């Protein structure tokens, strides 16, 4: 049950009930389904959203969506030969330019210390995300998939779990009462994409046929691959860390990878490019659309 989506006009993917509602109300003023007006991407770190969802995000931005990224951690650990403070500063600037390369309007940094989310208050992260959801009122959210397995960067798990809950309770008026006093109204985001890099061997298997389980969805990103490549290339500090660690491992075990014989700016960039190309021109998600919240009897 995989589905290809195109961010062009047309209501083919929408469920009947919703299509009727949308068409009935806005038929003469708005196209039935254009690019989502506002897309909110929650990310644990600078690289995950680029590698797992960058092509899709760029596609939406190209089609006219205003995209915002909230990066939960500061990426302070992922560098080679730089202290955490310096790493965090560079990662912030590089996350900004990666986001720009994808057509993102703004990348916001929450600044939690990378790889130390395990003991951070879950609801603390969630509540900050609720604030942004109510402020931006997104029509689409992207969050790290907390059910994806075998990603050793658990920040993505903690962030995904908090974001999933934020997506749910941002719509409920009994969460964060003071928001009512400052004009932030409850907001229900119609579409939710769970993203993850292909580390989970079973990521394409449907988890269940039950109604309320997000289904696999693939997005063809061939057209925006150049933007994804540019975004990945912008993450210089993290790319250098990956290249140098790989080289160190190969050296320690008496092996070589010809392009890393010399580790410099160009070989680091080349390796990052090979990585993005190796991920292919399809991005796989778990997707919960509008129909996710329409009980079966009304569909």
Partner 1 sequence: MYTVILLVSCVAAFGADALPLGKLPKGKVVMALQPHHDDHTTDYGMGGLIARFVDEGYEAYYVRASNDEKDGSHGYARNDMINLREAEEATRILGMKKVISLNWRNDYMGPVPLDELRAQLILLIRKYRPDVILGHNPWEHYQKNPDHRNVARAMAEAWWMAGYENVHPEHVKIGLQPHQASYLYLKARLDWGLGHTPNIAIELNESQVRRKQQAYQTHRNVYANPASARGVKAALARESLMVPEFEGLDDQEAAVRMEEWHMDWISRVRGKQAGVTFAEDYFFVDEFDHLPGLKAYLKENVSAK
DSSP 11: -
Q: Which CB atom, from 207 or from 264, has the smaller least distance to partner 1?
A: 207
25 lies in the binding site for partner 1 (CB under 8 A)? no
The verdict on 119 binding partner 1 (CB under 8 A) reads: yes
State which of residues 61, 101, 140, 279 lies at the interface with partner 1 (CB under 8 A). 279
Q: How far is the CB of 49 from partner 1 (least distance, A)?
A: 15
Binding partner 1 by CB under 8 A: which of 6, 8, 20, 154? 154
Tell me: does residue 296 bind partner 1 (CB under 8 A): no
H or E, element range at 59:
helix 48-62
Judge contact between 290 and 14, C-beta under 8 A: yes
Quote the tokens at residue 80: 């080679």
Query: Minimum distance from CB of 96 to partner 1 (Å)?
Result: 21
User: Any contact of residue 150 with partner 1 (CB under 8 A)?
Assistant: yes
CB neighbour class for 94 (10 Å; exposed up to 12, middle 13-18, buried from 19): buried
The answer to the question of residue 81 lying near partner 1 (CB under 8 A) is yes
- Cα 193–Cα 198–Cα 201 angle in degrees, nearest 5: 110
Q: Where are the alpha helices (DSSP H) in 258-299?
A: 265-278
User: Does 87 help bind partner 1 (rule: CB under 8 A)?
Assistant: yes
Shortest spacing between CB 127 and partner 1, in angstroms: 21
Kindly state whether residue 183 participates in binding partner 1, applying the rule CB under 8 A: no
**Considering the complex, what minimum distance in angstroms separates the CB of residue 271 from partner 1?**
7
Q: Judged by CB, which is closer to partner 1: 179, or 203?
A: 203
- The owner of tokens 């779990």 is 161
Q: Is 254 in the site for partner 1 (CB under 8 A)?
A: yes
Residues 284, 216: contact at Cβ < 8 Å?
A: yes
Query: How many residues make contact with partner 1 (CB under 8 A)?
Result: 44
> Which residue, 174 or 253, is less far from partner 1 as judged by CB?
253
Q: Measured between alpha carbons, how far is 107 from 98 in angstroms, rounded to an integer?
A: 9
Query: Which class for 123: exposed (0-12), middle (13-18), buried (19 or more C-beta within 10 A)?
Result: middle
Judged on CB neighbours under 10 Å (0-12, 13-18, 19+), 292 is middle
**Quick one: 143 or 279, whose CB is closer to partner 1?**
279
Binding site for partner 1 (CB under 8 A): 51, 76-84, 87, 115-116, 118-119, 149-150, 152, 154, 197-199, 201-202, 207, 242, 245-246, 249-250, 253-259, 271, 274-279
């Amino acid at each position: 049950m995989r589905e290809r989506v195109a961010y062009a006009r047309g209501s083919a993917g929408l469920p009947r009930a919703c299509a009727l509602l949308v068409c009935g109300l806005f038929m003469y003023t708005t196209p039935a389904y254009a690019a989502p007006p506002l897309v909110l991407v929650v990310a644990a770190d600078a690289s995950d959203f680029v590698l797992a969802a960058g092509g899709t995000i760029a596609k939406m931005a190209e089609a006219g969506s205003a995209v915002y990224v909230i990066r939960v951690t500061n990426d302070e650990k992922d560098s080679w030969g730089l202290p955490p403070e310096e790493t965090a500063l560079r990662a912030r600037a590089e996350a900004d330019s990666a986001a720009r390369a994808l057509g993102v309007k703004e990348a916001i940094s929450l600044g939690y210390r990378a790889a130390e989310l395990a003991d951070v208050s879950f609801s603390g992260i969630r509540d900050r995300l609720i604030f942004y959801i109510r402020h931006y009122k997104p029509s689409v959210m992207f969050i790290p998939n907390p059910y994806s397995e075998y990603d050793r960067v658990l920040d993505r798990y903690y962030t995904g779990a908090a974001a999933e809950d934020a997506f749910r309770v941002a719509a409920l008026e009994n969460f964060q009462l003071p928001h009512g006093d400052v004009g932030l109204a409850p907001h229900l985001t119609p579409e939710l994409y769970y993203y993850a890099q292909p580390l989970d061997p079973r990521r394409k298997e449907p988890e269940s046929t039950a109604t309320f389980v997000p289904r696999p969805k693939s997005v063809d990103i061939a057209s925006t691959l150049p933007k994804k490549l540019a975004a990945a290339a912008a993450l210089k500090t993290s790319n250098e860390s990956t290249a140098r660690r790989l080289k160190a491992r190969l050296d320690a075990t008496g092996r070589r990878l010809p392009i890393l014989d010399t580790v410099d700016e160009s070989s680091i960039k080349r390796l990052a490019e090979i990585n993005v190309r190796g991920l292919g021109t399809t991005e796989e998600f778990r997707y919960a659309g509008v129909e996710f919240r329409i009980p079966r009897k009304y569909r």
